[in-house]
Amino acid sequence: MPYRYETPRRSIYDRLSERRIAAEMLAAASAPRSEFVVGHAEIIDAWVWLPSGFYRNVLSWKALAAHAAPMQQSAQLKGAEGQRRRFCRIATAPGEVADFTALGRATQLLKAFVNGQGFTARSQWSQTQVVLFAPADVDPDTWREAVMAEWPGDAAAQSYEVASGTIDNWFRDRLADACGAEYLVCLSVDSAVTSAGALASDAEEVLGECVAALSLRRVCKSAQPANRAADARPVQPDLAPAEEGEPVCRLYLAPTIDHPPRSRQPRKHTGDLERLIQQLCEQSETQLEQCAGMVSDGLFIGNRLTQLIALSRTTFQAWELLEHVVSTSALAGRVGHSGTVLSQICLAHLLAVNSQPDAILVLDRYADDRSSAWLVKR
């Protein structure tokens, strides 16, 4: 008897997922299309939750430099050679047993963040596209479904997108596109304090965690920079800066440059970083003297530390390294690329609002053979 194929019955979960995706596609298609300025965006707000603390308000260099992530060890976290790994972890719910799987721990962090840190009360979510940067060792589609399951119903966004590629390429493509959503919330939840993270780590690394959310507004071409009230679509009250007259920060991204591996370069080589910073200053119409400091990834392997010190002494001679450079690795430990960069940008924004001069440099040196630079400017 020939085999007769029967279409499997769809579950209620399948049907609800199809309806949700169809609704999102319809909302995106019916949303008014605007033309935006390319190359930069306005920062509305930033949230950073690291093992060293939760950062939400304006920061000073001195206060931030005094923070450090508490380190510990666990028999459940061992490297490939069998040695225990050092780690620092975000304190979520009291008494909660931390999950050591990548998806499980990321979900714990997400749930604690969206339900307990005032995050969903800020933005006009119906006008906002949420951009998700998937945690390390988690499938992007699986992460999207996990976020949708935990996202509060009263903060439903216009749409949800999982970013593909590296974070610098995603931002470059988005800021080069004159169309799309006006309001964006970029969210990275990441933890290396997992069994997979320990196996993939080096013995000298401190495994870490982060939750970083950056709220952006694309600048409409019809808006007048000198008078934001001239924008044909006024900013919603809860999307405006927290206080009347608070300065607006803008985010600029320079092109990524490829170069020989840092580990093979001279210990004090700074040519690649200097070229990158020059391009960024030209793009943002910023003088080097306007840079109040730098938020670094804090990585030191492969000549990164010696090159950073040399850069501060040659390009930024007025800087005292300990007073003008903040390291995310000291606050968060080692996390993935997207989480590292987004944490850097969020911290730079919280520093720039209170800094004189008014620009903060962000250096992305995560990869050995490529670099990017960002600028947060008030």
Overall pTM surpassing 0.75 (yes/no)? yes
* Burial environment of residue 62 by CB neighbours within 10 A (0 to 12, 13 to 18, 19 or more): exposed
Per-residue pLDDT of the chain (378 residues; tens, 9 = 90+): 444 434 445 555 455 455 555 555 555 444 555 689 888 999 999 999 999 999 988 888 888 888 999 999 988 899 999 999 999 999 988 888 999 999 999 999 999 999 887 888 866 888 899 999 999 999 999 999 999 999 988 888 999 999 998 999 999 999 888 888 899 999 999 999 999 999 999 888 999 999 999 999 998 887 645 443 333 333 332 333 344 345 589 999 888 999 999 989 999 999 999 999 999 999 999 998 899 999 998 887 888 888 888 888 888 876 776 678 899 999 999 999 999 999 999 999 999 988 887 899 999 999 889 999 999 998
How far is it, in rounded angstroms, from Cα 285 to Cα 112?
A: 40
> Among 273, 250, 264, 259, which Cα is nearest to 364's?
273
> Among 312, 299, 294, 297, which Cα is nearest to 348's?
294
For the chain, list the domains and their CATH numbers: 40-217 (3.40.47), 248-377 (3.40.47.10)
> Among 287, 294, 242, which Cα is nearest to 273's?
294
> Among 102, 106, 258, which Cα is nearest to 169's?
258
Q: Which amino acid is at 332?
A: A
Element spanning 168, H or E: helix 167-176
Contact (Cβ atoms closer than 8 angstroms) between residue 365 and residue 298: no
Contacts (Cβ under 8 Å, ≥6 apart) of 44: 123, 183, 215, 216, 217, 239, 240, 241
Q: Estimate to the nearest angstrom the gap between the alpha carbon of 353 and the chain centroid.
A: 18
How far is it, in rounded angstroms, from Cα 67 to Cα 254?
A: 29
Q: Specify which residues 369 forms β-bridges with.
A: none
Contact (Cβ atoms closer than 8 angstroms) between residue 59 and residue 351: yes
SS3 state at 188: strand
Is the C-alpha dihedral spanning 302, 305, 309, 311 positive or negative?
A: positive
Provide the token pair at 222.
């019809």
Q: What are the φ and ψ backbone dihedral angles of 16, each rounded to 5 degrees?
A: -65, -40
How far is it, in rounded angstroms, from Cα 175 to Cα 35?
A: 11
Q: What DSSP assignment string belongs to 360-376?
A: EEEEE--SSSEEEEEEE
Contact (Cβ atoms closer than 8 angstroms) between residue 203 and residue 79: yes
CA-based radius of gyration for the chain:
22
274-285 per-residue burial string, b: 16 or more CB within 10 A, e: under 16: eebbeebbebbe
